[in-house]
Amino acid sequence: MSNLLVIVAVAVVAAVAGVLWSVFGRTEERDRGSDYLHALEHWLAGEEDEALRLLTEVVREDPSSVEPYLQLGHLLRQRGDAARAAVLHRGLTVRPGLSKPQRVAIGVALAEDLLALERWDEAQEVLDGLVRDATGRTAYWRARFAQWHGQGNRPEAARSLQKAPRFCPERDHAWFRTSYTAYQLDRALEHARAGESGPARARLKDVAKFPSAAPRAALVRAVLAATEQDAAGALTVAAEELLENPRELEVFLPLLQDVLLESGQFSRSLPILERACQSAQAPARLWISLALLYEKLGDREKALRLLEGKATGGGLTPDVASPYLKHLCREASDTDLGKLCAMLSIPNTARVWTCESCGRTEPQVRWFCPVCRGFDTYGAGLETT
Protein backbone atom coordinates (compact mmCIF):
# COMPACT_ATOMS: atom_id res chain seq x y z
CA MET A 1 0.00 0.00 0.00
CA SER A 2 1.37 3.46 -0.88
CA ASN A 3 1.97 6.10 1.78
CA LEU A 4 -0.91 8.13 0.41
CA LEU A 5 -3.32 5.19 0.76
CA VAL A 6 -2.12 4.56 4.29
CA ILE A 7 -2.74 8.20 5.20
CA VAL A 8 -6.23 8.09 3.65
CA ALA A 9 -7.09 4.84 5.38
CA VAL A 10 -5.97 6.15 8.76
CA ALA A 11 -7.93 9.36 8.22
CA VAL A 12 -11.10 7.41 7.40
CA VAL A 13 -10.74 5.18 10.43
CA ALA A 14 -10.08 8.21 12.64
CA ALA A 15 -13.14 9.99 11.27
CA VAL A 16 -15.37 6.97 11.82
CA ALA A 17 -13.99 6.52 15.33
CA GLY A 18 -14.66 10.18 16.05
CA VAL A 19 -18.25 9.93 14.91
CA LEU A 20 -18.85 6.80 16.95
CA TRP A 21 -17.30 8.41 20.02
CA SER A 22 -19.44 11.51 19.64
CA VAL A 23 -22.60 9.42 19.35
CA PHE A 24 -21.72 6.76 21.88
CA GLY A 25 -19.54 8.77 24.23
CA ARG A 26 -20.55 7.25 27.56
CA THR A 27 -19.73 3.64 28.35
CA GLU A 28 -23.36 2.47 28.20
CA GLU A 29 -23.89 4.26 24.88
CA ARG A 30 -20.68 2.81 23.47
CA ASP A 31 -21.95 -0.65 24.43
CA ARG A 32 -25.27 -0.03 22.70
CA GLY A 33 -23.48 1.29 19.63
CA SER A 34 -21.27 -1.77 19.58
CA ASP A 35 -24.30 -4.06 19.86
CA TYR A 36 -26.00 -2.24 16.99
CA LEU A 37 -22.97 -2.57 14.73
CA HIS A 38 -22.58 -6.23 15.70
CA ALA A 39 -26.26 -6.79 14.90
CA LEU A 40 -25.75 -5.43 11.40
CA GLU A 41 -22.66 -7.58 10.96
CA HIS A 42 -24.59 -10.71 11.97
CA TRP A 43 -27.41 -9.74 9.61
CA LEU A 44 -25.01 -9.32 6.69
CA ALA A 45 -23.49 -12.70 7.54
CA GLY A 46 -26.92 -14.34 7.35
CA GLU A 47 -27.13 -14.90 11.11
CA GLU A 48 -30.59 -13.41 11.49
CA ASP A 49 -31.42 -14.89 14.90
CA GLU A 50 -28.42 -13.24 16.54
CA ALA A 51 -29.06 -9.99 14.66
CA LEU A 52 -32.66 -10.01 15.89
CA ARG A 53 -31.56 -10.65 19.47
CA LEU A 54 -29.06 -7.80 19.45
CA LEU A 55 -31.39 -5.30 17.77
CA THR A 56 -34.15 -6.15 20.23
CA GLU A 57 -31.73 -5.59 23.11
CA VAL A 58 -30.60 -2.24 21.70
CA VAL A 59 -34.12 -0.83 21.34
CA ARG A 60 -35.12 -2.17 24.75
CA GLU A 61 -32.24 -0.32 26.39
CA ASP A 62 -32.71 2.84 24.33
CA PRO A 63 -36.38 3.30 23.36
CA SER A 64 -35.60 6.74 21.95
CA SER A 65 -33.35 5.34 19.20
CA VAL A 66 -34.50 5.64 15.59
CA GLU A 67 -32.12 3.76 13.32
CA PRO A 68 -32.10 0.50 15.37
CA TYR A 69 -35.93 0.56 15.45
CA LEU A 70 -36.00 1.10 11.68
CA GLN A 71 -33.61 -1.80 11.01
CA LEU A 72 -35.42 -4.07 13.46
CA GLY A 73 -38.59 -3.54 11.46
CA HIS A 74 -36.77 -4.34 8.21
CA LEU A 75 -35.46 -7.57 9.71
CA LEU A 76 -38.88 -8.58 11.04
CA ARG A 77 -40.44 -8.04 7.61
CA GLN A 78 -37.66 -10.03 5.95
CA ARG A 79 -38.38 -12.88 8.37
CA GLY A 80 -42.06 -12.87 7.42
CA ASP A 81 -43.43 -10.81 10.32
CA ALA A 82 -44.57 -7.75 8.38
CA ALA A 83 -47.36 -7.07 10.89
CA ARG A 84 -44.91 -6.44 13.75
CA ALA A 85 -42.69 -4.46 11.40
CA ALA A 86 -45.63 -2.22 10.49
CA VAL A 87 -46.36 -1.57 14.18
CA LEU A 88 -42.74 -0.58 14.80
CA HIS A 89 -42.47 1.63 11.74
CA ARG A 90 -45.84 3.30 12.29
CA GLY A 91 -44.75 4.12 15.83
CA LEU A 92 -41.65 5.80 14.46
CA THR A 93 -43.69 8.06 12.17
CA VAL A 94 -45.06 9.99 15.16
CA ARG A 95 -41.68 10.55 16.80
CA PRO A 96 -40.92 14.26 17.29
CA GLY A 97 -37.77 15.85 15.97
CA LEU A 98 -37.20 13.53 13.01
CA SER A 99 -35.08 14.82 10.15
CA LYS A 100 -36.49 14.79 6.62
CA PRO A 101 -34.32 11.82 5.53
CA GLN A 102 -35.46 9.90 8.62
CA ARG A 103 -39.14 10.65 7.91
CA VAL A 104 -38.75 9.50 4.31
CA ALA A 105 -36.90 6.30 5.24
CA ILE A 106 -39.49 5.42 7.88
CA GLY A 107 -42.39 6.20 5.54
CA VAL A 108 -41.00 4.02 2.75
CA ALA A 109 -40.34 1.23 5.26
CA LEU A 110 -43.94 1.41 6.50
CA ALA A 111 -45.21 1.29 2.92
CA GLU A 112 -43.11 -1.82 2.29
CA ASP A 113 -44.61 -3.45 5.39
CA LEU A 114 -48.14 -2.69 4.19
CA LEU A 115 -47.34 -4.01 0.72
CA ALA A 116 -46.07 -7.26 2.24
CA LEU A 117 -49.42 -7.48 4.06
CA GLU A 118 -51.25 -6.71 0.77
CA ARG A 119 -52.88 -3.65 2.30
CA TRP A 120 -52.64 -1.80 -0.98
CA ASP A 121 -54.83 1.20 -0.22
CA GLU A 122 -53.04 1.95 3.06
CA ALA A 123 -49.69 1.68 1.27
CA GLN A 124 -50.93 4.14 -1.36
CA GLU A 125 -51.94 6.62 1.33
CA VAL A 126 -48.46 6.44 2.88
CA LEU A 127 -46.70 6.78 -0.47
CA ASP A 128 -48.93 9.67 -1.52
CA GLY A 129 -47.70 11.50 1.56
CA LEU A 130 -44.08 11.01 0.45
CA VAL A 131 -44.36 12.32 -3.11
CA ARG A 132 -42.72 15.64 -2.36
CA ASP A 133 -39.66 14.25 -0.57
CA ALA A 134 -39.12 10.60 -1.60
CA THR A 135 -39.12 10.53 -5.39
CA GLY A 136 -35.33 10.52 -5.52
CA ARG A 137 -35.22 7.16 -3.77
CA THR A 138 -35.18 3.87 -5.63
CA ALA A 139 -37.14 2.15 -2.85
CA TYR A 140 -39.99 4.64 -3.30
CA TRP A 141 -40.45 3.75 -6.97
CA ARG A 142 -40.25 0.01 -6.33
CA ALA A 143 -42.91 0.42 -3.67
CA ARG A 144 -45.03 2.53 -6.02
CA PHE A 145 -44.86 -0.18 -8.66
CA ALA A 146 -45.85 -2.87 -6.14
CA GLN A 147 -48.74 -0.75 -4.86
CA TRP A 148 -50.23 -0.06 -8.31
CA HIS A 149 -49.75 -3.66 -9.42
CA GLY A 150 -51.33 -4.93 -6.20
CA GLN A 151 -54.35 -2.71 -6.81
CA GLY A 152 -54.69 -4.16 -10.30
CA ASN A 153 -53.77 -0.92 -12.06
CA ARG A 154 -51.31 -2.31 -14.61
CA PRO A 155 -50.91 0.92 -16.63
CA GLU A 156 -49.93 2.93 -13.54
CA ALA A 157 -47.61 0.13 -12.39
CA ALA A 158 -45.86 0.25 -15.75
CA ARG A 159 -45.65 4.05 -15.62
CA SER A 160 -43.95 3.84 -12.23
CA LEU A 161 -41.19 1.70 -13.73
CA GLN A 162 -40.96 3.95 -16.76
CA LYS A 163 -40.77 7.23 -14.79
CA ALA A 164 -38.34 6.09 -12.10
CA PRO A 165 -35.10 6.66 -14.11
CA ARG A 166 -35.97 10.37 -14.36
CA PHE A 167 -35.66 10.72 -10.60
CA CYS A 168 -33.71 7.90 -8.96
CA PRO A 169 -29.90 7.46 -8.86
CA GLU A 170 -28.26 6.64 -12.18
CA ARG A 171 -26.92 3.32 -10.88
CA ASP A 172 -30.51 2.01 -10.80
CA HIS A 173 -31.64 3.22 -14.23
CA ALA A 174 -30.76 -0.05 -15.99
CA TRP A 175 -32.76 -2.10 -13.47
CA PHE A 176 -35.89 -0.04 -13.99
CA ARG A 177 -35.59 -0.12 -17.80
CA THR A 178 -35.06 -3.87 -17.81
CA SER A 179 -37.97 -4.37 -15.42
CA TYR A 180 -40.25 -2.13 -17.46
CA THR A 181 -39.42 -4.11 -20.59
CA ALA A 182 -40.07 -7.45 -18.87
CA TYR A 183 -43.34 -6.21 -17.38
CA GLN A 184 -44.73 -4.86 -20.64
CA LEU A 185 -43.66 -7.95 -22.60
CA ASP A 186 -45.30 -10.18 -20.00
CA ARG A 187 -48.51 -8.19 -20.37
CA ALA A 188 -48.22 -8.42 -24.17
CA LEU A 189 -47.79 -12.18 -23.99
CA GLU A 190 -50.86 -12.56 -21.79
CA HIS A 191 -52.90 -10.52 -24.27
CA ALA A 192 -51.53 -12.55 -27.20
CA ARG A 193 -52.47 -15.85 -25.56
CA ALA A 194 -55.98 -14.50 -25.04
CA GLY A 195 -56.17 -13.45 -28.71
CA GLU A 196 -56.35 -9.76 -27.76
CA SER A 197 -54.34 -8.38 -30.66
CA GLY A 198 -54.91 -4.67 -30.00
CA PRO A 199 -53.62 -4.59 -26.40
CA ALA A 200 -50.81 -7.03 -27.28
CA ARG A 201 -49.52 -4.82 -30.08
CA ALA A 202 -49.87 -1.71 -27.92
CA ARG A 203 -47.62 -3.24 -25.26
CA LEU A 204 -45.11 -4.27 -27.92
CA LYS A 205 -45.05 -0.68 -29.13
CA ASP A 206 -44.16 0.41 -25.60
CA VAL A 207 -40.87 -1.53 -25.73
CA ALA A 208 -40.04 -1.13 -29.41
CA LYS A 209 -37.13 1.23 -28.68
CA PHE A 210 -35.35 -1.33 -26.49
CA PRO A 211 -33.19 -3.63 -28.68
CA SER A 212 -33.04 -6.28 -25.96
CA ALA A 213 -36.81 -6.75 -26.26
CA ALA A 214 -36.66 -7.91 -29.90
CA PRO A 215 -36.51 -11.72 -29.40
CA ARG A 216 -39.35 -11.76 -26.89
CA ALA A 217 -41.38 -9.32 -28.97
CA ALA A 218 -41.02 -11.70 -31.90
CA LEU A 219 -42.23 -14.54 -29.70
CA VAL A 220 -45.29 -12.51 -28.72
CA ARG A 221 -46.09 -11.77 -32.38
CA ALA A 222 -45.69 -15.44 -33.25
CA VAL A 223 -47.98 -16.51 -30.40
CA LEU A 224 -50.53 -13.92 -31.49
CA ALA A 225 -50.51 -15.25 -35.06
CA ALA A 226 -50.83 -18.83 -33.82
CA THR A 227 -53.69 -17.92 -31.48
CA GLU A 228 -55.48 -16.33 -34.42
CA GLN A 229 -54.91 -19.56 -36.42
CA ASP A 230 -52.77 -17.63 -38.87
CA ALA A 231 -50.46 -20.51 -39.84
CA ALA A 232 -48.69 -18.53 -42.55
CA GLY A 233 -48.09 -15.56 -40.23
CA ALA A 234 -46.83 -17.76 -37.41
CA LEU A 235 -44.51 -19.58 -39.78
CA THR A 236 -43.18 -16.31 -41.20
CA VAL A 237 -42.33 -14.89 -37.77
CA ALA A 238 -40.68 -18.14 -36.74
CA ALA A 239 -38.62 -18.31 -39.92
CA GLU A 240 -37.62 -14.65 -40.12
CA GLU A 241 -37.28 -13.59 -36.47
CA LEU A 242 -36.96 -16.57 -34.15
CA LEU A 243 -34.33 -18.64 -35.93
CA GLU A 244 -31.53 -16.59 -34.40
CA ASN A 245 -33.12 -17.00 -30.98
CA PRO A 246 -33.41 -20.74 -30.36
CA ARG A 247 -34.69 -20.40 -26.80
CA GLU A 248 -37.66 -18.31 -27.86
CA LEU A 249 -38.25 -20.66 -30.78
CA GLU A 250 -38.23 -23.61 -28.39
CA VAL A 251 -40.98 -21.96 -26.35
CA PHE A 252 -43.07 -21.28 -29.44
CA LEU A 253 -42.46 -24.47 -31.41
CA PRO A 254 -45.15 -26.71 -29.83
CA LEU A 255 -47.81 -24.07 -30.54
CA LEU A 256 -46.52 -23.59 -34.08
CA GLN A 257 -46.61 -27.31 -34.79
CA ASP A 258 -50.16 -27.57 -33.43
CA VAL A 259 -51.30 -24.78 -35.76
CA LEU A 260 -49.52 -26.29 -38.75
CA LEU A 261 -50.86 -29.76 -37.94
CA GLU A 262 -54.43 -28.44 -37.86
CA SER A 263 -53.84 -26.79 -41.21
CA GLY A 264 -52.18 -29.90 -42.65
CA GLN A 265 -48.86 -28.09 -43.03
CA PHE A 266 -46.82 -29.44 -40.11
CA SER A 267 -43.96 -30.50 -42.40
CA ARG A 268 -43.37 -26.81 -43.20
CA SER A 269 -41.76 -26.45 -39.77
CA LEU A 270 -39.00 -28.88 -40.86
CA PRO A 271 -36.62 -26.32 -42.44
CA ILE A 272 -37.15 -23.95 -39.49
CA LEU A 273 -36.22 -26.66 -37.01
CA GLU A 274 -33.25 -27.83 -39.05
CA ARG A 275 -31.79 -24.33 -39.23
CA ALA A 276 -32.45 -23.68 -35.54
CA CYS A 277 -30.74 -26.92 -34.49
CA GLN A 278 -27.57 -25.82 -36.25
CA SER A 279 -27.09 -23.18 -33.57
CA ALA A 280 -24.71 -24.04 -30.76
CA GLN A 281 -27.29 -22.51 -28.37
CA ALA A 282 -30.12 -24.75 -29.54
CA PRO A 283 -31.71 -26.48 -26.50
CA ALA A 284 -31.83 -30.28 -26.49
CA ARG A 285 -35.63 -30.23 -26.60
CA LEU A 286 -35.39 -28.77 -30.11
CA TRP A 287 -33.34 -31.78 -31.21
CA ILE A 288 -36.06 -34.10 -29.90
CA SER A 289 -38.74 -32.10 -31.69
CA LEU A 290 -36.80 -32.36 -34.95
CA ALA A 291 -36.15 -36.09 -34.45
CA LEU A 292 -39.87 -36.71 -33.90
CA LEU A 293 -40.66 -34.71 -37.01
CA TYR A 294 -38.26 -36.90 -39.00
CA GLU A 295 -40.10 -39.91 -37.57
CA LYS A 296 -43.44 -38.52 -38.75
CA LEU A 297 -41.92 -38.17 -42.20
CA GLY A 298 -40.62 -41.78 -42.08
CA ASP A 299 -36.90 -40.97 -41.84
CA ARG A 300 -35.71 -42.71 -38.66
CA GLU A 301 -32.14 -42.97 -39.86
CA LYS A 302 -31.93 -39.20 -40.10
CA ALA A 303 -33.50 -38.82 -36.65
CA LEU A 304 -30.97 -41.12 -35.00
CA ARG A 305 -28.10 -39.53 -36.87
CA LEU A 306 -29.18 -36.11 -35.60
CA LEU A 307 -29.32 -37.27 -31.99
CA GLU A 308 -26.03 -39.09 -32.27
CA GLY A 309 -24.35 -35.92 -33.46
CA LYS A 310 -25.86 -33.84 -30.66
CA ALA A 311 -25.38 -36.29 -27.78
CA THR A 312 -21.72 -35.43 -27.22
CA GLY A 313 -22.62 -32.19 -25.43
CA GLY A 314 -24.31 -34.00 -22.56
CA GLY A 315 -27.64 -32.22 -22.90
CA LEU A 316 -29.50 -35.31 -24.12
CA THR A 317 -30.76 -36.69 -20.80
CA PRO A 318 -33.44 -39.42 -20.40
CA ASP A 319 -35.95 -36.80 -19.22
CA VAL A 320 -35.42 -34.63 -22.29
CA ALA A 321 -35.44 -37.63 -24.62
CA SER A 322 -38.49 -39.31 -23.05
CA PRO A 323 -40.93 -38.31 -25.86
CA TYR A 324 -38.67 -39.97 -28.42
CA LEU A 325 -38.03 -42.99 -26.17
CA LYS A 326 -41.77 -43.56 -25.83
CA HIS A 327 -42.14 -43.38 -29.59
CA LEU A 328 -39.42 -46.00 -30.11
CA CYS A 329 -40.94 -48.28 -27.47
CA ARG A 330 -44.31 -48.21 -29.22
CA GLU A 331 -42.64 -49.02 -32.54
CA ALA A 332 -40.69 -51.95 -31.05
CA SER A 333 -43.52 -53.50 -29.06
CA ASP A 334 -42.95 -57.01 -30.51
CA THR A 335 -39.24 -57.16 -29.68
CA ASP A 336 -37.65 -58.15 -26.38
CA LEU A 337 -36.63 -54.54 -25.84
CA GLY A 338 -40.16 -53.39 -26.59
CA LYS A 339 -41.61 -55.94 -24.16
CA LEU A 340 -39.19 -54.78 -21.46
CA CYS A 341 -40.06 -51.15 -22.12
CA ALA A 342 -43.75 -52.03 -21.81
CA MET A 343 -43.04 -53.29 -18.28
CA LEU A 344 -41.34 -50.06 -17.31
CA SER A 345 -43.12 -47.04 -15.99
CA ILE A 346 -41.68 -44.24 -18.05
CA PRO A 347 -42.86 -41.01 -16.41
CA ASN A 348 -44.59 -38.36 -18.37
CA THR A 349 -42.63 -35.14 -18.48
CA ALA A 350 -44.14 -31.74 -19.02
CA ARG A 351 -42.52 -28.37 -19.45
CA VAL A 352 -42.90 -26.25 -16.35
CA TRP A 353 -41.70 -22.74 -15.56
CA THR A 354 -40.73 -22.04 -11.96
CA CYS A 355 -40.04 -18.70 -10.32
CA GLU A 356 -36.61 -18.99 -8.77
CA SER A 357 -37.53 -16.41 -6.13
CA CYS A 358 -40.78 -17.78 -4.69
CA GLY A 359 -41.30 -21.19 -6.29
CA ARG A 360 -44.51 -20.39 -8.19
CA THR A 361 -44.94 -22.63 -11.23
CA GLU A 362 -46.55 -21.86 -14.56
CA PRO A 363 -47.26 -24.13 -17.55
CA GLN A 364 -46.06 -21.39 -19.90
CA VAL A 365 -43.20 -18.93 -19.92
CA ARG A 366 -43.57 -15.73 -17.89
CA TRP A 367 -41.27 -12.70 -17.58
CA PHE A 368 -42.86 -11.33 -14.42
CA CYS A 369 -43.94 -13.19 -11.29
CA PRO A 370 -47.29 -11.93 -9.97
CA VAL A 371 -46.64 -13.44 -6.52
CA CYS A 372 -43.22 -12.11 -5.51
CA ARG A 373 -43.20 -9.38 -8.19
CA GLY A 374 -39.87 -10.61 -9.54
CA PHE A 375 -38.70 -9.81 -13.05
CA ASP A 376 -37.09 -12.46 -15.28
CA THR A 377 -37.15 -14.96 -12.41
CA TYR A 378 -38.76 -17.90 -14.24
CA GLY A 379 -36.56 -20.78 -15.29
CA ALA A 380 -37.58 -23.71 -17.46
CA GLY A 381 -37.51 -27.31 -16.35
CA LEU A 382 -39.25 -30.62 -16.74
CA GLU A 383 -41.92 -31.87 -14.36
CA THR A 384 -42.47 -35.59 -13.96
CA THR A 385 -46.07 -36.75 -13.64
Is 240 inside any structural domain? Answer: no
Q: Are residues 117 and 185 both part of a single domain? A: no
CA distances from 295 to 42, 267, 324, 335 (A): 60, 11, 9, 19
Q: Are residues 102 and 189 both part of a single domain? A: no
**Is there a contact between 246 and 254 (Cβ–Cβ < 8 Å)?**
no
Residue 142's pLDDT is what? 97
Is 330 inside any structural domain? Answer: no
Is 4 inside any structural domain? Answer: no
Residue 6's pLDDT is what? 33
What's the domain count of the chain?
3
Mean pLDDT of the chain: 83
Residue 110's pLDDT is what? 96
Is 57 inside any structural domain? Answer: yes
Of 181, 209, 237, the residue that ends a domain is 209
Regarding predicted confidence, which is higher, 262 or 56? 56
Is 295 inside any structural domain? Answer: no
Residue 33's pLDDT is what? 59
CA distances from 364 to 208, 277, 361 (A): 23, 22, 9
Residues 161-192 pLDDT 10s: 999 999 999 999 999 999 999 999 999 999 99
Q: Are residues 29 and 102 both part of a single domain? A: yes
Looking at the predicted structure, is the pLDDT value of residue 216 above 60? Answer: yes
Looking at the predicted structure, is the pLDDT value of residue 38 above 60? Answer: yes
Is 135 inside any structural domain? Answer: no
Can you give the residue range of the structural domain that contains 370?
347-385
Q: Are residues 48 and 100 both part of a single domain? A: yes
Is 278 inside any structural domain? Answer: no
Most confident range (mean pLDDT) of 17-21, 150-154, 307-311 is: 150-154
- The alpha helices in 207-299, defined as continuous H runs, are 214-227, 231-237, 246-262, 270-277, 284-296
Residue 109's pLDDT is what? 96
Is 318 inside any structural domain? Answer: no
Regarding predicted confidence, which is higher, 321 or 130? 130
